[in-house]
Amino acid sequence: MNRVEMAHGSGGQAMQQLINQLFMDAFNNPWLAEQEDQARISLSTLTAQGDRLAFSTDSYVIDPLFFPGGDIGKLAVCGTANDVAVSGAIPRFLSCGFILEEGLPMDTLKAVVASMASTAQEAGIAIVTGDTKVVQRGAADKLFINTAGMGAIPADIHWGAGQLTPGDVLLVSGTLGCHGATILNLREGLGLDGELRSDCAVLTPLIQTLRSCQGVKALRDATRGGVNAVVHEFAASSGCGIELTERGLPVKPAVRGLCELLGLDPLNFANEGKLVIGVERQAAEAVLTQLRAHPSGKEAAIIGEVVERKGVRLTGLYGVKRTLDLPHAEPLPRIC
Amino acid sequence: MNRVEMAHGSGGQAMQQLINQLFMDAFNNPWLAEQEDQARISLSTLTAQGDRLAFSTDSYVIDPLFFPGGDIGKLAVCGTANDVAVSGAIPRFLSCGFILEEGLPMDTLKAVVASMASTAQEAGIAIVTGDTKVVQRGAADKLFINTAGMGAIPADIHWGAGQLTPGDVLLVSGTLGCHGATILNLREGLGLDGELRSDCAVLTPLIQTLRSCQGVKALRDATRGGVNAVVHEFAASSGCGIELTERGLPVKPAVRGLCELLGLDPLNFANEGKLVIGVERQAAEAVLTQLRAHPSGKEAAIIGEVVERKGVRLTGLYGVKRTLDLPHAEPLPRIC
């Protein structure tokens, strides 16, 4: 069988074979091996790590499926793991639901599954339960993945956007917009192939270094909508304003070039491996040092602060302050 | 806005509005209201109910979206809740990921969301975290939903297909094939509209009555692939054979009529509210009585037994025993 057929989603023999020969083998772990309708996870393994369960989900519809720096499978593990990890939890367990288009080359599915498996394994995450649906040719574009993830939040960590108060400082863990720029370049054939690479990564190791930091108040990974979407969420949740400094924003030259070419703002571009962190002012330098000491945080920077006056503003390169609106839509659909 | 637009999935203002005006309002609960990237669930609420977390996921791609007895939203709550509940856990928390086709009428989405919300509320389930993606017209057929669910399994319940041994008896909780027959009738325009209705339901209340029953060994809800798929799974997990008796299979006259018309077997038809239960022989009558005492189990029946000799067989109406194969594919795609 070198293409996905309707039978692979039907609950008959063909589906059993796909599950046994592909998924069970790639995601191999004791929970999945039980082959019940649900994974059964000892609650004591979770309570040993924290007092609250962090639970999050995302669907992945990115087009194209493969791109420099990753693919939809890697993204489906990283994206959901990061949504769990920004709570302070270590993501441990993932569910995985595939929606496949009839006719999808089996090699494409295998490559995606292998990428999910290796990304999960590297991050210490087990894919413990799953589901496969197949829809007719034309009823879905190639392949969609949903993952839901969980982990336990340590009892002493209470990060949340609602904790931010005026005077707090905002940092990012690295350069902005790499994922969005990579996909845009690829889809529009802009020819910057060698220089652009998605930042798609599991952020748990970097986040773990922040667990011992005093003064960390809120963490979020900047994905769809970019850093701009996160700071708008921070502003809404905290009831404060946010002011960013354009000079402080770390952006790779290739991304900056592409943005200038197209008149787009890297603040609105999707990332898949970047944190926005809100910290107490007196902790900002220490947190920055801590971030920069980690390979994933080398280009971390202070980008702004939380202020009393509501709204989100950006101080430009020439010192002029302007309101930073959240766009109605992101420049690119199907970015993740 | 009376149709879903690409902007509704983009991480900008349009998506925020959709989340705030539709999802937050319909699924309203304290976990969702926190608006973090992940729901944060107190582990003590789970450990108070059991010692293991049951965790399961399904994607829903059913076509048509609305059918007698339910819709894709109701199905997305019931299906995943049931996959959790057959472990003995009470499903408590659900994630929800939407993949929407550009141009989907907003009223369709609203109706589906309202149905999810009321089904979840009735079952005591909170939809605590979610995600929305929009793909271009033609890149998905209308609307797909993924849900992942969880609940805690009581420490004294260890149901599992691996526990079945020769001599055990199999029961079903009601008539077979109602969901599959309803969708087939609807899609093929067979004109049996008044008599067919999906059995789509959350099975938690019925399953709870079994928690106090002695001798219950394995539970599974018979969905895609029907009761036939479940008994094949039971056979594979236990290393035993299964023998069913055709005379014992409860099938509604309308479903039987449709099957005879088309030469199909109700054993292969999907259900969305029926259990297959494996019990110790001496417990079978007591469990049957218990099931029939509940409104959802009135038509429960003993359908077969676990035997030493491997394979799955069916004794027909005239006493002839034949091998029951698992079909390569189910008769109907996109049944759930």
Confirm whether A56 is domain-assigned. yes
> Taking CB atoms and an 8 Å cutoff, what residues of chain A touch B160?
34, 36
Amino acid A12: pLDDT: 86
- Residues A270 and A247 both lie in one domain: yes
Structure tokens at B201: 């339901």
| A 31-90 residues inside an 8 A Cβ radius of B | 34-44, 46-47, 50-61, 63, 83-84, 86-87, 89
Of B111, B123, B32, the closest CA to residue B77 belongs to B123
Tokens 């905002």 sit at which residue? A170
Confirm whether B328 is domain-assigned. no
Confirm whether A61 is domain-assigned. yes
What is the CATH number for A25? 3.30.1330.10
Report the gap between the CA of A335 and the closest CA in chain B (Å).
8
B287: helix, coil or strand? helix
Q: What is the mean pLDDT of residues B204-216?
A: 95
Which of B13, B53, B128 to mutate to probe the A interface, most A CBs <10 Å? B53
Q: What is the mean pLDDT of residues B167-195?
A: 92
Confirm whether B199 is domain-assigned. yes
Cα B71-A93-A174 angle, rounded to 5 deg: 105
Rounded percentage of chain A residues whose pLDDT exceeds 90? 90
Q: What is the mean pLDDT of residues A300-323?
A: 96
- Residues A316 and A193 both lie in one domain: yes
- Residues A314 and A174 both lie in one domain: yes
- Residues A141 and A175 both lie in one domain: no
Position B235 pLDDT exceeds 80: yes
d(CA B9, CA B106): 13
Which of A146, A157, A268, A274 to mutate to probe the B interface, most B CBs <10 Å? A146
Confirm whether A93 is domain-assigned. yes
Tell me the pLDDT of chain B averaged across its residues: 95
> Taking CB atoms and an 8 Å cutoff, what residues of chain A touch B235?
none
- Residues B93 and B169 both lie in one domain: no
Confirm whether B335 is domain-assigned. no
- Residues B76 and B198 both lie in one domain: no
Contact A57 B89 (CB under 8 A): no
- Residues A124 and A56 both lie in one domain: yes
Nearest CB neighbour to A129, from listed B9, B55, B135: B55
pLDDT for A230-243, tens place per residue?
A: 999 999 999 999 99
Is residue A93 less than 8 Å (CB to CB) from chain B? yes
d(CA A212, CA A219): 14
- What are the distances in angstroms from CA B158 to CA A34, A40, A227, B222? 13, 10, 47, 19
3-state helix, strand, coil in chain A (%, to 5): 35, 25, 40
Contact A148 B57 (CB under 8 A): yes
> Which DSSP string do the residues of A210-226 spell out, in sequence order?
HTT-TTEEEEEE--TTH
Position A253 pLDDT exceeds 90: yes
Confidence of residue B240 (pLDDT cuts 50, 70, 90): very high
pLDDT for B278-327, tens place per residue?
A: 999 999 999 999 999 999 999 999 999 999 999 999 999 899 999 999 98
Structure tokens at B67: 């059918």
- Whether the CB-CB separation of B249 and B241 falls below 8 Å is answered with no
Contact A223 B130 (CB under 8 A): no
Amino acid A332: pLDDT: 82
Position B10 pLDDT exceeds 90: no
> Which DSSP string do the residues of B143-192 spell out, in sequence order?
EEEEEEEEEEEPTT----GGG--TT-EEEESS-SSHHHHHHHHHHHT-S-
Report the gap between the CA of B179 and the closest CA in chain A (Å).
15
Last residue of a domain, one of B153, B187, B202: B153
Phi, psi of A314 (to 5 degrees): -125, 125
d(CA A132, CA B197): 25
Roughly how many angstroms between the first and final C-alpha of chain A, as a whole number?
Answer: 29
Structure tokens at A333: 């659909």
Confirm whether B132 is domain-assigned. yes
| Domain range enclosing A61 | 6-153
- What are the distances in angstroms from CA B169 to CA A163, A207, B76, B218, B288? 57, 52, 30, 10, 11
Q: What is the mean pLDDT of residues A58-70?
A: 97
Confirm whether B313 is domain-assigned. yes
DSSP code, position B327: P
Is residue A96 less than 8 Å (CB to CB) from chain B? yes
- Residues B286 and B266 both lie in one domain: yes
Query: With left for phi above 0 and alpha for psi between -120 and 50, is residue A35 left, alpha or beta?
Result: left
pLDDT for B46-67, tens place per residue?
A: 999 999 999 999 999 999 999 9
Report the gap between the CA of A126 and the closest CA in chain B (Å).
12
Last residue of a domain, one of B136, B153, B170: B153
- Residues B211 and B143 both lie in one domain: no
- Residues B270 and B149 both lie in one domain: no
Confidence of residue A333 (pLDDT cuts 50, 70, 90): confident
The interface pTM score, or ipTM, of the predicted complex is 0.96
B86: helix, coil or strand? coil
Please give the tally of structural domains in chain B: 2
Nearest CB neighbour to A39, from listed B55, B130, B138: B55
Last residue of a domain, one of B153, B174, B195: B153
- Residues A110 and A214 both lie in one domain: no
- Whether the CB-CB separation of A33 and A24 falls below 8 Å is answered with yes
- Whether the CB-CB separation of A40 and A29 falls below 8 Å is answered with no
Report the gap between the CA of B63 and the closest CA in chain A (Å).
10
Prior bond of A64 cis (ω within 30°): yes
Prior bond of A295 cis (ω within 30°): no
Phi, psi of A94 (to 5 degrees): -130, 140
Nearest CB neighbour to B327, from listed A12, A86, A232: A12
**AA identity, residue B92:** R
What is the CATH number for A260? 3.90.650.10
- Residues A132 and A178 both lie in one domain: no
Tokens 């106090």 sit at which residue? B212
